[in-house]
Amino acid sequence: MTMTSQNESTSETQPSGYACIHRYVKTLDSSPGVYRMLDSESRVLYVGKARNLKARVSNYARPGHSGRIERMIAATASMMFLTTRTETEALLLEQNLIKQLKPKYNVLLRDDKSFPNILVAKDHSFPQIKKHRGAKKEKGAYFGPFASAGAVNRTLNQLQKAFLLRNCSDSMFDSRTRPCLLYQIKRCSGPCVGLISDKEYRESVKDAERFLSGRSTNVQEELAEQMMAASEAMEFERAASLRDRIRALTQVQTSQGINPRGVTEADVIGLFMDSGQACVQVFFIRANQNWGNRDFYPRVGPDVSAAEVMEAFLGQFYDNKEPPRQLILSDAIENADLMQEALSEKAGRRVEILVPQRGEKQELVAGALRNARESLARRMSETATQAKLLRGLAEAFDLDNLPERIEVYDNSHIQGTNAVGGMIVAGPEGFIKNSYRKFNIRGDDLTPGDDFGMMKEVLTRRFTRLQKEDPDRDKGHWPDLLLIDGGAGQVSAVHEIMAQHGVEDIPMIGVAKGVDRDHGKEEFHRFGQRPFALKRNDPVLYFIQRLRDEAHRFAIGTHRAKRSKAVGATPLDEIPGVGAARKRALLAHFGSAKAVSRANLADLRAVDGISAGLAQKVYDFFHEKG
């Protein structure tokens, strides 16, 4: 992408609003590009693209806009411009900047997680079938995306029944001397111990790939023919096994619900808007099969059109994802040809954008719209309930304002080992999971099990980072309320940390189990005040319990992950140049890290993937230590 010029304000006395925009119009030409509107503190208010920058910005210099745009213009104190060679480049750059900068007045897609795939790994003589998320670096065939991990797991579960493919790791496969439980429950054909030939296993792999590619009817017909032949030959056990495999395939198709005949590869996207909120529902159709659906709630305003929301969603959603061959939309977008060109260029093949009016495709859109409408209704109901709970929380604890961001802290450890701190965040729309944070407790001078010391370390690191990253408290990262797991001692320790950092205007409450540590008799502690309790049936009490339990769940999960990693740790992890693959090779060859430490140089060199130089490093590591 070529960016040929950039203009920005140089004077703090420059006028704002319409006068500011008028001033910039004189400096622009008719090039395509991207413009940014900034406020008096240089925060980005809006990012837009233009086929003709001069014409587009001139439009802002004239009155007659919606309330949202009028407010944006009034706050504009400076502008920045990037010219591009084509309008397609401008569109791609615009959506990229929106995702990076998150401007206040743009439609913003807030949930942007990657989607899982099914991978048939091909780097082994007996290919493994497994769930995969992230960059497609492993050798093999990828099928997806699926809408969720649950959708992948359900499909994998049935595929194991149908095709008996292994899902164990290569190291586990190589170390088996007898078949595992999956073989006993007829989920695997036991290739690890030679219970199926290489040729037969590869035929099963081919069948699985054909099924995932949409050629399921042929697979089922062939299995049915094999079942009949086995039955006629009185091989009843084999016939029963084939029958179970056919049932498993049928169950996969049944769970998918919608399986369109005329749509091979598409994302069906339905948008429903109500009361200044929006829900976008995406159905993933691949190989004529429905691989799940997912809902998204982009940030919009009351005067944003459906066309603008849909276009912004497409640009941001496919910024880091490969688009399918068809996008089937509920609402037309203004720049359909431009978006189609941009997505086709990104995918390296033709991408078609459709807004169907009749037929099977229209029925798919109607289903997506119905789901979007129902999802938004549920979300609005939950948001209303959440707002009511936040009002109750503010009243119960005498808060000046409704908390927009509640941070809840908890620690987890076993007798001081593998100690971690967890922070969860909640707000008007519920739990904000992308703001959760974990803290590996580093304090070498801490007494094992010192909960006060651990909480001090966590809060010290949290406030130090906040003061560094958001010193003016204008990015929404600072909490309005702190909840910590503990009583008067914990509250006193946290208050000390907050005072040291000059943070004395954020309310902080300790939640203690109370009498007999009974769930429902919680006591609440505030610094310098007497503890108090809420009535057992108070909804606010249940709300706080939910917050505390979520923090506890997150901290325990983080601790277990750390402990599990520590269990699998060996001295090999400390040797420079020995990564996961070489560690596996050494352990598979020698059987244990202890055996590696005793090996001579010649034996180390004999290990597949271990060079002479690395073998010397491994040998020196153990023998110099001794």
The domains of the chain, with CATH numbers, are: 18-101 (3.40.1440.10), 117-256 (no CATH), 265-377 (3.30.420.10), 406-565 (3.30.420.340), 571-625 (1.10.150.20)
pLDDT in tens, 74-115: 999 999 999 999 999 999 899 889 988 999 999 998 776 788
According to DSSP H, which parts of 485-611 are helical? 488-500, 539-567, 580-590, 593-598, 601-605
**Positive or negative, the Cα torsion across 513, 516, 520, 524?**
negative
Q: Pick from 52, 44, 139, 144: which is nearest to 100 by CA?
A: 44
- Copy the structure tokens of residue 483: 């909840």
d(CA 382, CA 380): 5
Confidence of residue 4 (pLDDT cuts 50, 70, 90): very low
340-349 exposure pattern, b = at least 16 Cβ within 10 A, e = fewer: bbbbbebeee
Nearby residues of 179 by Cβ (< 8 Å), 6 or more positions away? 188, 190, 192, 193, 195
CB 334 within 8 A of CB 311: yes
Residue type for 321, please? K
Residue type for 157, please? N
CB 219 within 8 A of CB 179: no
d(CA 509, CA 507): 7
Residue with tokens 């099990």: 449
d(CA 537, CA 161): 47
Higher pLDDT, 582 or 318: 318
**First-to-last CA distance in the chain?**
57
Confidence of residue 443 (pLDDT cuts 50, 70, 90): low
For the segment 394-420, the average pLDDT, to the nearest whole number, is 83
Residue with tokens 């939910």: 546
Q: List phi, psi (to 5°) of 323.
A: -75, 150
Q: CA 72, 74, 79: angle at the middle one, nearest 5?
A: 70
What was the pLDDT predicted at 504? Answer: 84
Q: Is the pLDDT of residue 45 over 90?
A: yes
d(CA 198, CA 492): 66
Q: Is the pLDDT of residue 496 over 50?
A: yes
Residue type for 334, please? E
What was the pLDDT predicted at 528? Answer: 86
- Copy the structure tokens of residue 525: 């502690």
Instruction: Give the best-scoring range by mean pLDDT among 243-247, 514-518, 568-572.
Output: 243-247
Could you tell me how many residues make up the chain?
626
Confidence of residue 339 (pLDDT cuts 50, 70, 90): very high
d(CA 225, CA 215): 16
For the segment 388-417, the average pLDDT, to the nearest whole number, is 86
Confidence of residue 434 (pLDDT cuts 50, 70, 90): confident
Q: How far is CA 20 from CA 61, 63, 75, in A?
A: 9, 14, 10
Would you call 6 helix, strand, or coil by DSSP?
A: coil
For the segment 341-353, the average pLDDT, to the nearest whole number, is 93
d(CA 10, CA 77): 11
d(CA 102, CA 107): 9
Q: Pick from 293, 298, 331: which is nearest to 312 by CA?
A: 298
**Positive or negative, the Cα torsion across 527, 529, 532, 538?**
negative
Q: CA 402, 506, 466: angle at the middle one, nearest 5?
A: 110
Is cis: bond before 539, omega within 30 of 0?
no
Q: Is the pLDDT of residue 228 over 90?
A: no
CB 418 within 8 A of CB 441: no
Higher pLDDT, 587 or 336: 336
Nearby residues of 211 by Cβ (< 8 Å), 6 or more positions away? 159, 162, 163, 219, 249, 252
Instruction: Give the best-scoring range by mean pLDDT among 85-99, 152-166, 589-603.
Output: 85-99
Strands 265-274 and 140-143: unpaired
Local structure of residue 123 (DSSP, 8 states): S
pLDDT > 70: what percent of the chain?
89
User: 439 forms bridges with which residues in the sheet?
Assistant: 421
For the segment 303-318, the average pLDDT, to the nearest whole number, is 93
Nearby residues of 236 by Cβ (< 8 Å), 6 or more positions away? 230
d(CA 135, CA 595): 35
Nearby residues of 485 by Cβ (< 8 Å), 6 or more positions away? 408, 409, 410, 411, 510, 511, 548, 551, 552
For the segment 596-610, the average pLDDT, to the nearest whole number, is 86
Instruction: Give the best-scoring range by mean pLDDT among 29-38, 102-111, 566-575.
Output: 29-38
For the segment 273-289, the average pLDDT, to the nearest whole number, is 90
What was the pLDDT predicted at 74? Answer: 93
d(CA 4, CA 18): 26
Higher pLDDT, 76 or 9: 76
- 282-286, 491-495, 579-583: segment of lowest average pLDDT: 579-583
pLDDT > 90: what percent of the chain?
36
Mean pLDDT, the chain, whole residue set: 85
Is cis: bond before 531, omega within 30 of 0?
no
d(CA 587, CA 605): 14
What was the pLDDT predicted at 10? Answer: 39
Say how many C-beta atoms besides its own lie within 10 A of residue 28's C-beta. Answer: 22
Confidence of residue 9 (pLDDT cuts 50, 70, 90): very low
What was the pLDDT predicted at 44? Answer: 94
What was the pLDDT predicted at 110? Answer: 77
Q: Is the pLDDT of residue 455 over 80?
A: yes
pTM score of the predicted model: 0.72
CB 77 within 8 A of CB 18: no
d(CA 310, CA 107): 9
What was the pLDDT predicted at 344? Answer: 94
CB 97 within 8 A of CB 82: no
Local structure of residue 126 (DSSP, 8 states): S
Q: Is the pLDDT of residue 6 over 50?
A: no
For the segment 533-543, the average pLDDT, to the nearest whole number, is 88
What was the pLDDT predicted at 516? Answer: 56
For the segment 537-550, the average pLDDT, to the nearest whole number, is 90
Nearby residues of 207 by Cβ (< 8 Å), 6 or more positions away? 163, 219, 222
d(CA 135, CA 27): 43
What was the pLDDT predicted at 580? Answer: 77
Residue type for 123, please? D
